[in-house]
C-alpha cells in the first residue's frame, strides 16, 4: 500500500498559540511575564518546547539558560497538556483531504516530533485521532525526525511500504527527513513557520488542502 504521512504541528493544525501560552506560563512563574509573542514567535513554537524556552531565556539574558530550560521543560509540558486545544485549529479542508486520500486507497499516518502522548491527546481532543492508522511521536522510537526511521515506521504501521510514501510537512526538518528516506516531500505554504518553502526544494508545495489528493497522485503514480 502507498501511504501519505503527515507532520502535525504547523502542517495539519496550527498549534502555535497553545504552545506559546504554555511557554509564557513558565516565564510568568519566573516573574518575567509573557516573554514570547503568539504571532512573531509562532515559528519557534513549532520547533518545540525547548526551542521556546531557549529563546525566552536568551531574551531574559539568563546566564544559566541551559539549566533553566532543563528545569522548566517538564513544567511547560504539563502546562501544555492542561490547555492543549484552547487556540489550536485544524487547517481548512485538511481532514476532507485525509478522507479523500483514504477513499482513493492510501494509508494515512502522522509522524511528529511532539511527544506521542501529547500528540494523541491533541488528536483525540480535536476528534480526528481515529482518522489516522498510525501515530509516531518524538519519543516513540529511539530516534526522531530528521532520522528517516520514524517516517518508515509510520508507513509500516499504516499498512504501507515505507519506500512508497510521501511526507507532508512544513519545515526543513520534514524536508530533510524525506530526503534521507528517499521519498517525496510536500511542504505547506500557510504554516506559522514562515520562510520560503520553495527554497527547501520539496517535490511539491501545497497552498490549499483541496489540492493535496491530486498532488499525491502525481508524486506516487
With bands split at pLDDT 50, 70 and 90, how would you rate the model's confidence at 194? low
Q: How far apart are CA 185 and CA 175, in angstroms?
A: 6
Q: Check whether 196 has a pLDDT greater than 90.
A: no
Q: How far apart are CA 218 and CA 221, in angstroms?
A: 5
Q: What's the whole-number mean pLDDT along residues 174-191? A: 96
Please list, residue by residue across 100-132, b when 16 or more beta carbons sit within 10 angstroms of its beta carbon and e when fewer do.
bbeeeebbbbbbbbbbbebbebbbeebebeeeb
φ and ψ at residue 134, rounded to 5 degrees: -150, 150
Q: Where are the beta strands (DSSP E) in the chain?
A: 3-6, 13-14, 89-90, 107-111, 134-136, 165-169, 185-188, 204-206
Here the cell at position 138 is: 518524538
Q: Which of 7, 9, 14, 174 is catalytic?
A: 7
Known catalytic membership, residue 7: yes
CA of residue 97 relative to chain centroid, distance = 17
φ and ψ at residue 76, rounded to 5 degrees: -60, -45
What's the fold here for domain 3-14+88-219? Rossmann fold (3.40.50)
Q: What's the whole-number mean pLDDT along residues 181-209? A: 92
**C-alpha to C-alpha distances, 119 to 46, 56, 85, 181, 197, nearest whole angstrom:** 13, 24, 11, 23, 24
Residue listed under C-alpha cell 498549534: 15
Q: What is the pLDDT of residue 57?
A: 95
With bands split at pLDDT 50, 70 and 90, how would you rate the model's confidence at 9? very high
Q: What's the whole-number mean pLDDT along residues 93-101? A: 98
- Which residues touch 61 (CB under 8 Å, ≥6 apart)? none
Q: What's the whole-number mean pLDDT along residues 193-212? A: 92
Q: Check whether 182 has a pLDDT greater than 70.
A: yes
Q: What is the pLDDT of residue 65?
A: 84
Q: What's the whole-number mean pLDDT along residues 99-109? A: 98
* Closest to 121 measured CA to CA, from 161, 84, 74: 84
Here the cell at position 189 is: 505554504
Q: How far apart are CA 72 and CA 23, in angstroms?
A: 9
User: 96: phi > 0 → left, psi -120 to 50 → alpha, else beta; which?
Assistant: alpha
Please write the tens of the pLDDT for every residue from 127-137.
999 999 999 99
Please write the tens of the pLDDT for every residue from 61-79.
988 888 999 999 999 999 9
Q: What is the pLDDT of residue 33?
A: 94
Amino acid at each position: 500500500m502507498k501511504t501519505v504521512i503527515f507532520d502535525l504541528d504547523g502542517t495539519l493544525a496550527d498549534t502555535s498559540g497553545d504552545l506559546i501560552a504554555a511557554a509564557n506560563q513558565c516565564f510568568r512563574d519566573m516573574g518575567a511575564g509573557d516573554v514570547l509573542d503568539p504571532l512573531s514567535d509562532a515559528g519557534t513554537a513549532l520547533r518545540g518546547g525547548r526551542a521556546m524556552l531557549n529563546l525566552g531565556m536568551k531574551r531574559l539574558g539568563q546566564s544559566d539558560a541551559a539549566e533553566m530550560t532543563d528545569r522548566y521543560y517538564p513544567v511547560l509540558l504539563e502546562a501544555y497538556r492542561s490547555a492543549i486545544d484552547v487556540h489550536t485549529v485544524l487547517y481548512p479542508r485538511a481532514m476532507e483531504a485525509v478522507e479523500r486520500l483514504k477513499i482513493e486507497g492510501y494509508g494515512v499516518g502522522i509522524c511528529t516530533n511532539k511527544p506521542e502522548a501529547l500528540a494523541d491527546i491533541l488528536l483525540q481532543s480535536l476528534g480526528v485521532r481515529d482518522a489516522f492508522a498510525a501515530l509516531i511521536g518524538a519519543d516513540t522510537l529511539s530516534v526522531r525526525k530528521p532520522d528517516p526511521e520514524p517516517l518508515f515506521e509510520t508507513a509500516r504501521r499504516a499498512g504501507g511500504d515505507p519506500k512508497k510514501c510521501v511526507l507532508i510537512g512544513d519545515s526543513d526538518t520534514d524536508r530533510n527527513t524525506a530526503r534521507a528516506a528517499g521519498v517525496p516531500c510536500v511542504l505547506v505554504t500557510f504554516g506559522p513557520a514562515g520562510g520560503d518553502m520553495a527554497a527547501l526544494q520539496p517535490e511539491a508545495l501545497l497552498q490549499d488542502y483541496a489540492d493535496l489528493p491530486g498532488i499525491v497522485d502525481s508524486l506516487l503514480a
